[in-house]
């Protein structure tokens, strides 16, 4: 099974090893969507709101899915999520928190801030590949997004 390449995934992750693991898991699962990597919370918001280095990006090209780590430099993932959910343009974009945090408060706060899903990163690479496949299968193929992300 090969996933469509037509829609973008925004991966918000600061750890280079986790970025590489995620990209390898995408390739292994034939997820061929374009992946934009934001390495901190400010860069993620710049991408989503077409600011800074992303000022020329067409704001109509909203990501199909955001994979969001919580422990980020400059602005943490929960702050990114709160800002994202307060904006009408990006409010409906599915956000999957993909984190190594085992803090119950992070789980609760993630859902309170509007996360669609919360996935703890498995330590084992094969388990991680399976988790990414399941995320991709559900959010990119099975889930029916609102037209124009609810705009």
> Is 145 part of any domain?
yes
Compute φ and ψ for 95, nearest 5 degrees.
-120, 120
> Is 117 part of any domain?
yes
> Is 3 part of any domain?
no
Compute φ and ψ for 120, nearest 5 degrees.
-85, 135
Q: For residue 118, give its domain range.
A: 9-150
> Is 2 part of any domain?
no
> Is 1 part of any domain?
no
- Note down pLDDT in tens along the chain; length 151 residues: 444 445 899 999 999 989 998 998 888 888 888 999 999 999 999 999 999 999 999 888 889 999 999 999 999 999 999 999 998 778 889 999 998 888 999 999 999 999 999 988 877 878 888 888 888 878 887 777 777 654 4
Q: Which helix (DSSP H) or strand (DSSP E) does residue 119 occupy?
A: strand 117-120
**In this predicted structure, what is the pLDDT of residue 149?**
52
> Is 19 part of any domain?
yes
Closest CA to 61 of 73, 48, 74: 48
pTM listed for this prediction: 0.88
* Number of domains making up the chain: 1
> Is 52 part of any domain?
yes
> Is 4 part of any domain?
no
CATH classification of the domain holding 39 = 3.40.50.2300
**In this predicted structure, what is the pLDDT of residue 2?**
47
**In this predicted structure, what is the pLDDT of residue 1?**
47
Is residue 95 within 8 Å of residue 116, measured between CB atoms? yes
**In this predicted structure, what is the pLDDT of residue 39?**
97
């Amino acid at each position: 099974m090969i996933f469509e390449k037509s829609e973008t995934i925004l991966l918000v992750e600061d750890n280079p090893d986790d970025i590489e693991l995620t990209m390898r898991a995408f390739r292994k699962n034939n997820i061929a969507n374009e992946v934009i990597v934001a390495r901190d919370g400010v860069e993620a918001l710049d991408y989503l709101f077409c600011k800074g280095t992303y000022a020329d990006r067409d704001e109509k090209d909203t990501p199909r899915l955001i994979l969001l780590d919580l422990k980020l430099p400059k602005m943490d993932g929960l702050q990114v999520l709160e800002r994202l959910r307060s904006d009408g343009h990006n409010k409906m974009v599915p956000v999957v928190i993909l984190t190594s945090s085992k803090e119950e408060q992070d789980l609760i706060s993630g859902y309170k801030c509007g996360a669609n899903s919360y996935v703890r990163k498995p330590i084992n690479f094969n388990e991680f590949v399976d988790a990414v496949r399941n995320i991709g299968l559900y959010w990119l193929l099975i889930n029916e997004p609102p037209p124009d992300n609810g705009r």
